[in-house]
A and B are shown apart, each in its own frame.
Chain A
């Protein structure tokens, strides 16, 4: 297959690869009994495909059930399996105001920095704004489906079921962690430990995980009488220890049979060992600012304090490991299980490898027990690569790809993973975090590229997202906010979006006009109003039509309408039908300028009024004035002139009679 030439920017056709996968085929149920004779396909909004199916009319002319035709709407695209359509719309709507707020703050900061001597426009406040933006969006990603089950303190429940995590939230937190948090606050390895604790379950679908093993064991736990006999008990505890879920480990340890009151007397040594290990675990030093309340481990902020505590802790473990009590421990599984846990705590590479199930868990365990002082993305990245070598990925997972991209400081990979795994919403909003957190990313994303038509990658993704929003009837109204933030093409696309909205629906029409008003798009407004006016006019709603054309100040069309009305008025001057015209005349008002050629209707009405006065025997002066003004109208049809003449002659004869 020939490679794509380098001047593909000019729009050369890309040949189809012969190795492309076979097309997917979906059956369509239409419910018609007769065979189909015609088929029509058209696209409507969003991902909807409309297929019209027509059955052949039966040969004998009879109409049967199942004849005729059907229009079926096919919706393509699965979307994110974890998040429902309704939740996506909520996320889309909810992220509008944080985005808009951030843009306005950005503009304010930039305009200020033009005046000040400051080289960098970003100061302390800027990080706060980014964090606020990130937190606002994070709050939207909470899963609605999580059942709020009251958590009873069941001594036998190892894992508490909180809210169901979603990959989207996990991905957002990763980006927040690496890009949005102020550099001075990054205890990144520990943050990753916490992250894995929340989101390990997401990998359970495609990879083996500690979380899934725990869940399985939890089910068996109910039936177990003697926990310490089950080898799984010890395996699961080691795994949980390896990834740093200390609370779970200690809780499980305390389930050990030696704690039971009736056993305490004859299993004293065993219990002592178990308790000793539990205490060591709960005193594990951690290089982090602080823990959540109730979490085990001791926190150290400064490196020297930590190192001292670490050495001491390791010393204690070694002492326990080499103590004589192990020989006195009768229960074999307990002895072996506890000792393997001690090996994990001592940072034995083989133990860590066998206790963890995928490379991320192995990676975390290295941070906890082998290299707690790792700083810098480069060393984190090389460590990640080593972990992947030791535990290769069975299949690609979108979160894993994202992590590798972030650690490798590869902005393009991060963007590609976000787009592929999470969609245009993610990219459009995550770019804000990327540009804040990494100078290299900012340069890359803000650079104007010729191959994209002179816009930056940031603008491109915002336009793509706005396009996605515009194609759905429920979300098109928020697309303008994203379009406005695109410097080069935003306004033009916004005008096109508004011009393409249908005018049949009054609500949509008013909404479009409202948006035009907000963004001062006067030409689009008048165009929309003209189209609406002509549409209403053609469908028999003459009053509405005239109103919209007046709003649009469309003199040309109003004059054309005047000509049409003229003819119909000329034919029917009866009093009853004139009542119908009253309303239209009211609408036109008394100002002749915008009424266009329809001013004659006013004069005609005045003329009719004065006619009535004459019938009642009142003054002829006003009648004469009315006639004069009526005739002074520039356009007057022959028909009308004839009728006016007839009436005038009647008036004159009557007046003569009166006089």
Chain B
């Protein structure tokens, strides 16, 4: 979706649903005018979790876009994490559940978005307890899954066949819990966990994380859980993380163990702007608002970041200043998992 030179005024569209929404992801469009979304639902009335692919019709005549469900897949238990890999026309979905299983789904967007389960990992030893987070690599042949039980698994699958193998990269036996994960390169990924800790892993090195980050947070007061990590393809040395108490920070691996705090109570020295005081559920680099000098920004500055939080704030943060927009973005690839009660169970 192209932006005009003058900023389009962003519009809010609420599409209330009658079921819990556990996760939402955009699927890459088949043609410029198509927009599909994958939505993980949980129907509390009938206790049935499912994933649906819906066609989002922008509908310029009426006031708000409509969601037309295309296909649905029933999950064995509630979805805890949903990620997509963009390989048109069959984008892949990785869905992790609260019962500790992982499902790879392929959806054929050309033929009505029918979803098929490509492969499933639901063995007892995969994860004990819920899977906290998964991430699919671009190109979609590998998926990393992490859980609070301290296990980091790498699942590899070959395109058409249902052959799926996983190997345990690390098992902390519960001594550490992981809550977020993100691929950085074909062999490296970052995980986040408790105490705002981020770990950097390299598949070529075995036996634990290569680098660990734990800044000097004022103990207890601003410590929290990392909910989401993002890594920009042009700046792989920096990990962006968002978590509890409205904290959004970045860790530059080349620099010392000092976090660059974009929002939050910070390390106590300089009171930063507090955008939100509640959990920041998702952070993502803002890849779509056109900025003229994006290539001129030095590699030490953090690129603009989009966040969404528990208390209903959707905002773009730029290092040093901030924009605040309480609107839902109509951009592709926007993570619209706004865990506010409005979206959650609006009927």
Contacts and interface: CB of A to CB of B under 8 A. Distances in A.
Interface stretch (A281-289, A547-555, A638-646): A547-555
B172 A580 contact: yes
A540 B18 CA distance: 36
A162 to B, nearest CB: 19
A93 B195 contact: no
A594 B219 CA distance: 7
B347 to A, nearest CB: 4
Interface stretch (B115-123, B173-181, B291-299): B173-181
Contact of A543 (B171, B174, B223, B310): B174
Interface string A559-584: 00000000000000000100111111
A589 B20 contact: no
Contacts of B225: 547
Contacts of A506: 130, 148
A373 interface: no
Contacts of A547: 177, 194-195, 223, 225
B347 A89 contact: yes
A506 B133 CA distance: 13
A589 B214 contact: yes
A543 B177 contact: yes
B89 interface: no
Interface stretch (A98-106, A185-193, A259-267, A471-479): A471-479
B20 A591 contact: no
Interface in A451-484: 473-475, 477-478
Nearest to B172: A580
Most chain B Cβ neighbours within 10 Å, of A539, A550, A583, A594: A583
Contacts of A475: 345
A512 to B, nearest CB: 12
Contacts of A551: 220, 223
Contacts of B195: 547, 550, 586-587, 589
Interface in A238-253: none
Contact of B150 (A474, A478, A541): A541
B220 A474 contact: no
A576 B208 CA distance: 9
Contacts of A93: 341-342, 345-347
A473 B171 CA distance: 34
B223 A550 contact: yes
A240 B20 CA distance: 47
B129 interface: yes
A576 B207 contact: yes
Nearest to A589: B219
A582 B207 CA distance: 12
B74 to A, nearest CB: 18
B149 interface: yes
A544 interface: yes
Interface residue SS majority, chain B: loop
B193 A543 contact: yes
A547 B47 CA distance: 31
A391 interface: no
A216 interface: no
Contacts of A88: 347
B277 interface: yes
A507 B199 CA distance: 23
Contact of B174 (A73, A85, A478, A541): A541
A539 B216 CA distance: 29
A542 interface: yes
A514 B311 CA distance: 9
Nearest to A576: B207
B100 to A, nearest CB: 13
Nearest to B194: A547
In this complex, the interface size class of chain B, counting residues with CB under 8 Å from chain A, is: 35 or more
Contacts of A593: 219
A553 B194 contact: no
A542 B177 CA distance: 8
B3 to A, nearest CB: 32
A510 B176 contact: no
A601 B318 CA distance: 39
Contact of B212 (A477, A541, A586): A586
B16 interface: yes
B176 A584 contact: yes
A469 to B, nearest CB: 12
B197 interface: yes
Nearest to A591: B219
Nearest to A586: B214
A353 B279 CA distance: 66
A324 interface: no
A188 B337 CA distance: 49
Interface in B252-298: 277-279
Given A541-B150, A580-B175, A587 B197 contact: yes
A474 B345 contact: yes
A83 to B, nearest CB: 11
B344 to A, nearest CB: 8
Contacts of B208: 579-580, 582
B219 A587 contact: no
A605 interface: no
Interface in A304-320: none
B278 A544 contact: no
A514 B173 CA distance: 29
Contacts of B160: none
Given A478-B341, A544-B148, A86 B347 contact: yes
Interface string A66-94: 00000001000000000001111110010
B5 interface: no
A542 B278 contact: no
A543 B277 contact: no
A73 B47 contact: yes
Interface in B202-250: 207-209, 212, 214, 216-217, 219-220, 223, 225, 244
A518 to B, nearest CB: 9
A233 B341 CA distance: 54
A539 B129 contact: yes
Contacts of A587: 176, 193-195, 197, 214
Contact of B177 (A517, A544, A553, A582): A544
Nearest to B277: A517
B346 A90 contact: yes
Given A93-B341, A541-B129, A87 B175 contact: no
5 contacts: A73-B47, A477-B341, A542-B174, A543-B194, A594-B220
Closest 7 CB pairs of A and B: A583-B176, A86-B347, A86-B18, A547-B194, A90-B347, A543-B176, A540-B174
Given A514-B278, A550-B219, A590-B216, 14 more contacts: A90-B347, A474-B20, A474-B44, A478-B341, A506-B148, A517-B278, A541-B150, A541-B174, A550-B195, A580-B171, A580-B175, A580-B176, A586-B197, A589-B217
